[in-house]
Structure 1
Amino acid sequence: MKKFNFKNFLNTLYQNHALAYKIVLFIVTTVAIVYLFPKGGHFKYEFHNGKPWQYENLYAPFDFAIQKSEQKIEEERKSITSNKKLYFTYKEEISNKVKKEIENKITNNTQDSILKSYSNKQVLNFVNNIVDIIYKKGYINENDVNRVTEKQLVALRKGNVISDVVFDNFFTSKEKAQFINDYIEKSKYKTLDTYLTPLLVQYLEPNIFFDEELTDKILQDQLNKISLTEGLVREKERIISKGDVVEGLKFRILTSLEKEYISQVWNQSNYNWIVFGYALLVALNLLMLLLFLQKYRSFIFEDNTKVTFIFFNIVLMILLVTLVVKYKVDYLYVVPLPILPIVIKAFFDARLGLFTHVLTVLLLGFIVPNSFEFIFLQIIAGIITILTVSELHRRANLFISISQITLVYMVAYFAFSIIQEGNMLKINWEYFILFALNGVLSFMALFLILIYEKAFGLVSDVSLLELSNTNSKLLRELGEKAPGTFQHSIQVANLAEASANEIGANAMLVRTGALYHDIGKMVNPKYFTENQTTSVNPHNDLTPKDSAKIIIDHVIDGVEIAKKYRLPERIIDFIRTHHGTSLVYYFYKQQEKENPEDLKIEDFSYKGPIPFSKETAILMMCDASEAASKSLKEPTAQLIDDLIEKIVDSQMANGQFMNADITFKEIQTIKKVIKKKLNNIYHLRIEYPE
C-alpha cells in the first residue's frame, strides 16, 4: 500500500489553489443562499383567484381548518377596535381629601361675617352633602370628556368591581358648577351662595379618570380571541373539480390547504431532505454560471477575484430580496434588481450580465410570493437593462435607460393585473409608485461601481473615460519618447471606436485599450518604423532573429509598464492580445532567405494569447490595418480595400479570432468601417495654386 505523503499533498494543493478556491467559494455561496431561503416547502399546485383549476379533481389529503382571509381578519379587528368599550377608574380617596381641604378652609376662616350666622358644623355638613352627591355620581376629568360620545355606555371600575354606566351620568366641570349653584339656591344656606359656590368649584377635583392601560389590555384580549379559521375540511372531501373557477370559498380553502401542506411538510423529519433539495438546485444554478464562464469567458473564470465579485453580487441581491420579503413584502418591487445586470455589464459584458441576472431571478423564485409574475417582470426588466444601458459615464443615458426600465415594469404589471383580476378596478396603483422608487434606487449602480472598482480592482466606463485622457502621465510619456507610436495609437483608437460603435461593442473600452496597446515601444522606440525620423535603421545591425525578439518584446514590455502604472487588467488584455500569436512576418521571411537552417517559427511568433472578446478582436484588425496602410506609397481606394481584405482574412485564416465572441457579419462590418476611415485619411486633396 502506497504511503500517504503530506508534502506531496500540499504541493498538489498549492499547484491547484485557484481551483480549490473556486470549490470553496462555490460551497460557501451555495450554503449562504440556501440559508437565506424561507424555511418552508413548496405547494405542488399553482392557482390564482378567478382562474380555472387546471388539475384533476382535488380531494383533501388530511383534515384541515379553513383559514380566514387577511382582509376578513382585518375587518374584524377594525370592527372590534372601533366598538371597543372605554374603561374609567373611580378614585374613592378623592372625596375624603377634598372634604378635609374644605373643612380646613372653613374652620380657619373665622373672620367672614357671612359664616357667623351659622355654626361651622352645620355648614360643613351641608358642604359634605354636596360633595357626596357629586362624587357619588362621578366627576370626570375634563381631558377625558371628548373621548366619549353622548349616551355611550362605558365601564366604571370601583375597586375590584366593574359596572357599565352611561357616560352622560357623570358630572363635567360645567355641570358641576351649575349643580352647586342650583343646590345652594334651593337650600336654607342660599345666603352663603357667594361664598360656598366659588369654594366648592375651587376645591372639587375629578374622581373619574380614563384608564388607558386597562382599556388597551381588554382590547388586546378581544383581538387575540379573534378566530383565524371559519370551518373545517375533512379528509377525502372534494375541494375542487377540474375546470372549476378558483374563487370565493374555494380560493380560501385552497389557500388554507397550501399553508397547512407547507406546515406539515416542513417538519423536523423532512427538514434535512428539503434543505438537500434546495442545495442541489442552488448548486446546479451556480454550476451553470461557472460552466458558462469556463466555456465562453475563460479569462474571467481564471480570475478568482472576478468570480468572487460575480458571486458576491448574486448573494447581495438575494439577501436584499429576502430581507424585504421577511419584513415588508409589500415593498418587494422596490428592490432595484436591475442594478445587477448594470454592474455586471459595466465591468464585463452584456451577455454575462443577462445570464447572471436570469440565474439570480430563478433563485429568487423560491423566495418571493407570486413567483411566476415576479420572474417574468424581472427577466423582462433585465433584458431591457442590457439592451438600453450603455456609456454609464453619460448620466443622461443612464436616466433614459432607467426610465425605460421603469416603464416596462409598469406596463408588464398592468398587463398581469388585468389578466388576474379581469378588469382595471382592482389594480393596486401603489405598485406604480414602488416601480418609480425602484428606478430611483437603480441610480445607486453608479456608487456601487465606484466602490467595486476600489474593492475588487475592476474597471468601468467611468474609469475608462479618465484613462482615455491623452494628458494622462503615461500617455504623455509615450508622446515624448515615441511620438510616432503615440500618433499611431490615436489613429488606431479612432478606427477601433468607430468599429465598436458600428457593431454595438464597448467603444470606450476598445478606444482606451487602443491608446495603451503599444506603450511597450517606449523601451526601444527607434526600432519601430513610425519613430524613425532619419534614414538610419538600427535593425540593419541586427540578425533577423534579434530584430524579431525586440519587436515581440514590446508586448511583454508593455504589460510590465502597464502593471507598473497600475492599469486595469481589462486594458492590459489589449496589450497582451493585439498581435495574438501572429508572425513577425518581415523578419521571418528575411531569416528564411538568409539562414533557413536556423529558422524556428516560435522565434518569430508573438506569445499571445489571441483575442477573446469583440473589443480585443477589433483592436487587432484596426492595429494591423492602420500600420500596414502606412506602407502604401500611393494609397488608392482599391489598394486600401485590397490591403484590409488581405490582412483581416489572414488573421481569420490563422485562427486569431477563434476565442473572440464575434461573428463573420460583424467582421465584415468592421472591414467596411476601417476602409472608409482610411480612405478619408488618404483621400487626394485639391492642389491649390501658388
Structure 2
Amino acid sequence: MDKVQQQLSKIRTLLDITFFRVLLFVLLGAILYLTMYNNVKPEKLDLKLLTVAERTIRSPITIEDKISTEKKRTEAEEQVSDVYVVKKEIAENRADLITSIFNTAVEVNAEVKTYIEELRLQAEESGDEPESVKEPSIEEKVNRMKDKLTEDVTKEISDSVFAALLNTPKEELTIAKDLTVTAINRVMSKKLPAAEVENGKKRVEEELKYTSLSNPLRNAAIDLGRYAVIQNEFFDLAATQELRHQAKESVEPVKILQGQIIVEENQLISTDIYRQLELVGLLDNKHSVKPFVGLAIIIGIILLAMYYYFHELNIKNETKQSYLLLFSLIFLLSIVLLKGISFLQQFEFSEVGYFFPAALGAMLIKILIDERLAVLWTIILAICGSIIFSEGITGTLHINMGIYIICSGLAGILFLSKQNQRTKILQAGLFVSFINLAVILSLIFLNNGHYDSVEYAFYVFAAIVSGVTSAVLTIGLLPFFEAGFGILSTMRLIELSNPNHPLLRKILTEAPGTYHHSVMVANLAESACEAIGANGLLARVGCYYHDIGKTKRPQFFIENQINIENPHDRLPPQTSKNIIIAHAIDGAELLRKHKLPREIVDIAEQHHGTTLLKFFYHKAKNNGLEVTEEEYRYPGPKAQTKEIAIIGIADSVEAAVRSMSHPTHEQIEGLVKNIIADRLQDGQLNECDLTLKELQTVANTLCETLKGIFHSRIEYPEMNKQKVN
C-alpha cells in the first residue's frame, strides 16, 4: 500500500502542472471516444434491390420520407370531391322573367285596346263609322310584344306562345302566370346541375299539363315553364381548391423513426424499401462523419464540465489533485463496467443494462469527495450509458437507460446525504433497488408495454441486483480508495469518533482527565470551525486523539493528577520540558503506528506549533540556568490548516479557563482574546490561512461556548426552618 501511495503521490505532483492535468482530461476523452466509437459508427450494409434481407434492419435515425409524404398528400387531395354551389338568385330571376312576359302580354293588349278606342273616336269626329276601324292582326300584336322583349327571349320562344298569351283575357293570364311561376319556383328551389336540367323541364311540364287552362294557353305556359328552367348549380373552383389545400396540409409528414424496422429478416427488398434504406443512409454511409463529430462534441462538453468543476474547486492543490485522480479512476471503472455489460446485448439480452450498478460511482464520489460532484458524475454517466446501451442500433440513444442511471444515482446520493455511517451503505443499496424498480415499471407503463410474469420477474431481479451490487462494491472499494489516496471521508471520521475505538479506550482508561479535556476541546473546536466554514467534524475527531501521547506518562499532566503530588515539583525544568514536549511527538508516532489518517496525525503533531513552555522556561531562568527560548519550544511544525490552528487555540483556552475558579463572562472574553493575540504575536498562525475576520468569529464562538459550559449558578438563600407549634 505504501508503494501505491508513493506512486499516487508522484502522479499528484505531475497533476500540479497544467500540461499534465490537461493531458489527463485528453486521455479520459480518448478512452470515452474509443469506448463509444462502435455505438455511433454507421452500419455498412451490402444490400441489393429485389434480394432477400438476411436480417432485420432498423433505422438508425429519424428522418422524413418526403416521397411518401407527397404521395399521401396527393392521395388526400384527389379524394376531395368537386364543390358545387346553388345560386338561388337564378330561380328568382327566371320567375321574374316569366312574370314579365305575362305582364308584357297584358300590357300589349291594353295598348291595342286604347289605340283602337282612340281611332274610333277620331272616326266619329270626322263623321266616319267607328266600326270601320279594324283591330290589328295577331301578327301585329305579336310583333308589338316582341319589340318590348329582349332578343334572347324572342329567339327562344315561338310566336305561337306570344299569340296564345295575347289571345287570352287578362284574368285568365293572371291565373296562368301564377301557376307557371309557382311550378318554376318549386322545381328550381332544388339544385339543378347541367345533367338534371332536362328532368327539371319535364317536372314543370308535368305540373302544368293537368291545369284547367285552355289548351293554347296551357301549351304556352308549358313552353314558358320549360324555357325558364335552367342550370342553377355550378362548380366552385375557389372552394374546391381551398378544400384540397386543407386536405393536403392535414396530412402529417411521413417519418421513418429511429429504431423502426425497415425490412424484416427474409423479406424481399422492394423498390420502396430500397429507397428507404438509401434515405436513412444505410446504403451509402462510408463517408458519413456526422456521428463521429457529434460524439466528439458531447465528449468535449463532458470534459469541459469536469475541468471547470475542478478548476473552480477552492481547496488545497494537493487535495484537489487527489480528488481529480480519484474521480478519474471511478470514472474509468464505471465506463468499463458499462461497456462490459453492454456486450451481453449480443446474446439477445436487450435489457441487460438494468443490471448495471448505476449508483456505485455516485455513492463513492458522494462519500469520498462531495455531493455536487456526485450529481455531475451521475449526469455524465447517464449520457454515456444512453449511448453505450443503444439497443444494438448504431447512432441511437437509449433514453430509458439514461433515465434509469440518473434516478438510480440520485437515489444513492440523496439517501447518503445525511447518513454518515458505513453501515448505512447497504441500506442505501436497498433504497436504490426500490427506486430502480419504480423507475423500470414507470418506463414500461409509459411505453404501454405488455409483458408476462417471467419478464416482470426479470425486471425485479435486475433492479435488486443493481442496487445491492452498487452497495456491496461501494463497501468493498471504499477502504482501498481511502487508504490509497489518504482521503478522510465523513464516514471514516464518524467511525474514528466511536468511543469503542481502541485508542480512545486507551485514553479513557489510562488518562481519564486527558479524555475529559479532549472532549471539552472538541466541543469548542467544532463550534468554532463550523462558524467560519471549516471542517467541524474533522476538528472534533482530531481533538479526541490530539493528546494521545499523554497516555505514555499520564501522571505528568495536571488533568490526570488527582489526589497525587505533581511530579514536576521534584524534577528539573529541563526534564519536565522534555516530558511535556514529548507528548506531541509520541502521540504522532502512536497514531502513525495504528495507521490513522494523516489529518489526525497532523493535528496531534501540530496543535502546539512551536509555542513556548513559559512555565518551565521561566523556572529554568529563575534557577540560574543559561537557557534560550528555542530550547523550551515545541518542535512544531506550526499549524498548517484552519482546523489545527483552532484546535490549538481551543486547547489553550480550555486549559486556562478550567484553571480559573468561578470565571465570569468578562474574564472568559479577556482570556480568549489574550490567547489569540499571543498566538498571533508569536507567529503561530503564520502558516495557515486564517484571516483576522475569521479569528474574530472564532473568538466570539469560543466565548459563547465557554459561557454555556461555565455558566454562573444561582445561589439560593438557605431557608430557615420554622418550628410548627
- TM-score, length of structure 2 as denominator length: 0.48
- Give the 5 Å matches for 1:51-66: none
The residue type equivalent to 2:13 in the other structure is L
1:610 pairs with 2:640: yes
Could you list the per-position Cα deviations for residues 489-511 of structure 1 after superposition, in whole angstroms to 9, with x for gaps in the alignment?
23334555677889998776544
Could you list the per-position Cα deviations for residues 111-141 of structure 1 after superposition, in whole angstroms to 9, with x for gaps in the alignment?
xxxxxxxxxxxxxxxxxxxxxxxxxxxxxxx
Deviation at 1:660, TM superposition (A): 7.0
Residues 381 and 409 of structure 1 are in contact (CA less than 8 Å); yes or no, is this contact kept in structure 2? no
Could you list the per-position Cα deviations for residues 228-265 of structure 1 after superposition, in whole angstroms to 9, with x for gaps in the alignment?
98353899xxxxxxxxxxxxxxxxx6xx35x7898634
The structure 2 residue matched to 1:347, chosen from 363, 368, 377, is: 368
Could you list the per-position Cα deviations for residues 482-527 of structure 1 after superposition, in whole angstroms to 9, with x for gaps in the alignment?
4432221233345556778899987765443322122123445455
1:296 pairs with 2:345: no
SS of alignment partner, residue 275 of structure 2: strand
- Give the 5 Å matches for 1:449-464: 449=478, 452=481, 464=493
Deviation at 1:406, TM superposition (A): 7.2
- In the alignment, the residues of structure 2 paired with residue 47 and residue 650 of structure 1 have an alpha-carbon distance, to the nearest angstrom, of 73
- Give the 5 Å matches for 1:90-489: 222=266, 230=273, 232=275, 256=280, 264-265=287-288, 296-300=315-319, 309-328=326-345, 330=351, 332=353, 335-350=356-371, 353=374, 367=388, 370=397, 389=416, 390-393=418-421, 395=423, 399=427, 403=431, 426=447, 439-444=467-472, 445-449=474-478, 452=481, 464=493, 466-479=495-508, 481-489=510-518
Gap runs ≥5 in structure 1: 1-12, 51-65, 78-219, 236-252, 418-423
SS of alignment partner, residue 330 of structure 2: helix
- In the alignment, the residues of structure 1 paired with residue 535 and residue 374 of structure 2 have an alpha-carbon distance, to the nearest angstrom, of 14
The structure 1 residue matched to 2:565, chosen from 524, 534, 537, is: 534
- In the alignment, the residues of structure 2 paired with residue 402 and residue 14 of structure 1 have an alpha-carbon distance, to the nearest angstrom, of 34
SS of alignment partner, residue 232 of structure 1: helix
Q: 1:70 and 1:234, CA in 2 relative to 1: closer, same or farther beyond 3 A?
A: closer
Deviation at 1:446, TM superposition (A): 3.3
Q: Pick which of 636-645 and 481-490 moved more.
A: 636-645
SS of alignment partner, residue 537 of structure 1: helix
- In the alignment, the residues of structure 1 paired with residue 372 and residue 593 of structure 2 have an alpha-carbon distance, to the nearest angstrom, of 32
SS of alignment partner, residue 475 of structure 1: helix
Could you list the per-position Cα deviations for residues 447-488 of structure 1 after superposition, in whole angstroms to 9, with x for gaps in the alignment?
443565677776656655554344444334434554432221
Question: Which residue is equivalent to 2:37?
Answer: 38
Q: 1:455 and 1:610, CA in 2 relative to 1: closer, same or farther beyond 3 A?
A: closer
Could you list the per-position Cα deviations for residues 536-592 of structure 1 after superposition, in whole angstroms to 9, with x for gaps in the alignment?
53698336xx8777655533332211111222334324334544x563474699599
**Root-mean-square deviation (Å):** 6.3
- In the alignment, the residues of structure 2 paired with residue 522 and residue 641 of structure 1 have an alpha-carbon distance, to the nearest angstrom, of 32
Q: 1:406 and 1:498, CA in 2 relative to 1: closer, same or farther beyond 3 A?
A: farther
Q: Pick which of 316-325 and 375-384 moved more.
A: 375-384
Q: 1:470 and 1:399, CA in 2 relative to 1: closer, same or farther beyond 3 A?
A: closer
Question: Which residue is equivalent to 1:490?
Answer: 519
Deviation at 1:674, TM superposition (A): 7.1
Q: Pick which of 561-570 and 447-456 moved more.
A: 447-456
Q: Pick which of 328-337 and 276-285 moved more.
A: 276-285
SS of alignment partner, residue 641 of structure 2: coil
SS of alignment partner, residue 419 of structure 2: coil
Deviation at 1:607, TM superposition (A): 0.6
Q: 1:411 and 1:472, CA in 2 relative to 1: closer, same or farther beyond 3 A?
A: closer
The residue type equivalent to 2:565 in the other structure is T
The structure 2 residue matched to 1:628, chosen from 651, 656, 677, is: 656
Q: 1:451 and 1:394, CA in 2 relative to 1: closer, same or farther beyond 3 A?
A: closer
SS of alignment partner, residue 634 of structure 1: coil
- In the alignment, the residues of structure 1 paired with residue 344 and residue 610 of structure 2 have an alpha-carbon distance, to the nearest angstrom, of 59
- In the alignment, the residues of structure 2 paired with residue 569 and residue 40 of structure 1 have an alpha-carbon distance, to the nearest angstrom, of 44
Residues 526 and 538 of structure 1 are in contact (CA less than 8 Å); yes or no, is this contact kept in structure 2? no
- In the alignment, the residues of structure 2 paired with residue 623 and residue 650 of structure 1 have an alpha-carbon distance, to the nearest angstrom, of 14
Could you list the per-position Cα deviations for residues 624-653 of structure 1 after superposition, in whole angstroms to 9, with x for gaps in the alignment?
443332233322344335545665687799
Deviation at 1:386, TM superposition (A): 5.0
Deviation at 1:316, TM superposition (A): 1.1
Could you list the per-position Cα deviations for residues 386-425 of structure 1 after superposition, in whole angstroms to 9, with x for gaps in the alignment?
56523342756974798599769979998xx9xxxxxx96
The residue type equivalent to 1:541 in the other structure is P
Could you list the per-position Cα deviations for residues 255-276 of structure 1 after superposition, in whole angstroms to 9, with x for gaps in the alignment?
x35x789863459xx99x9999
Q: 1:279 and 1:606, CA in 2 relative to 1: closer, same or farther beyond 3 A?
A: same
- In the alignment, the residues of structure 2 paired with residue 507 and residue 623 of structure 1 have an alpha-carbon distance, to the nearest angstrom, of 15
Question: Which residue is equivalent to 2:53?
Answer: none
SS of alignment partner, residue 230 of structure 1: helix
SS of alignment partner, residue 273 of structure 2: strand
Residues 528 and 697 of structure 2 are in contact (CA less than 8 Å); yes or no, is this contact kept in structure 1? no
Question: Which residue is equivalent to 2:611?
Answer: 583
The residue type equivalent to 2:503 in the other structure is L
SS of alignment partner, residue 317 of structure 1: helix
Choose 1 or 2 for highest CA Rg.
2
- TM-score, length of structure 1 as denominator length: 0.50
Q: 1:352 and 1:575, CA in 2 relative to 1: closer, same or farther beyond 3 A?
A: farther
SS of alignment partner, residue 558 of structure 1: helix
Question: Which residue is equivalent to 1:174?
Answer: none
Question: Which residue is equivalent to 2:13?
Answer: 19
Residues 334 and 435 of structure 1 are in contact (CA less than 8 Å); yes or no, is this contact kept in structure 2? yes
Could you list the per-position Cα deviations for residues 644-666 of structure 1 after superposition, in whole angstroms to 9, with x for gaps in the alignment?
56656877997959867999789
Deviation at 1:312, TM superposition (A): 2.1
Question: Which residue is equivalent to 1:144?
Answer: none
Residues 499 and 505 of structure 2 are in contact (CA less than 8 Å); yes or no, is this contact kept in structure 1? yes
Q: 1:228 and 1:337, CA in 2 relative to 1: closer, same or farther beyond 3 A?
A: farther
Question: Which residue is equivalent to 1:684?
Answer: 713
- In the alignment, the residues of structure 2 paired with residue 356 and residue 394 of structure 1 have an alpha-carbon distance, to the nearest angstrom, of 21
- In the alignment, the residues of structure 2 paired with residue 365 and residue 652 of structure 1 have an alpha-carbon distance, to the nearest angstrom, of 57
The residue type equivalent to 1:515 in the other structure is Y
Could you list the per-position Cα deviations for residues 362-383 of structure 1 after superposition, in whole angstroms to 9, with x for gaps in the alignment?
7668756659998798678767
Could you list the per-position Cα deviations for residues 587-622 of structure 1 after superposition, in whole angstroms to 9, with x for gaps in the alignment?
69959999999556995673135226xx65764554
SS of alignment partner, residue 518 of structure 2: helix
Could you list the per-position Cα deviations for residues 58-102 of structure 1 after superposition, in whole angstroms to 9, with x for gaps in the alignment?
xxxxxxxx96754445xx75xxxxxxxxxxxxxxxxxxxxxxxxx
Question: Which residue is equivalent to 1:639?
Answer: 667
The structure 2 residue matched to 1:557, chosen from 586, 601, 604, is: 586
Residues paired across the two proteins, number = 478
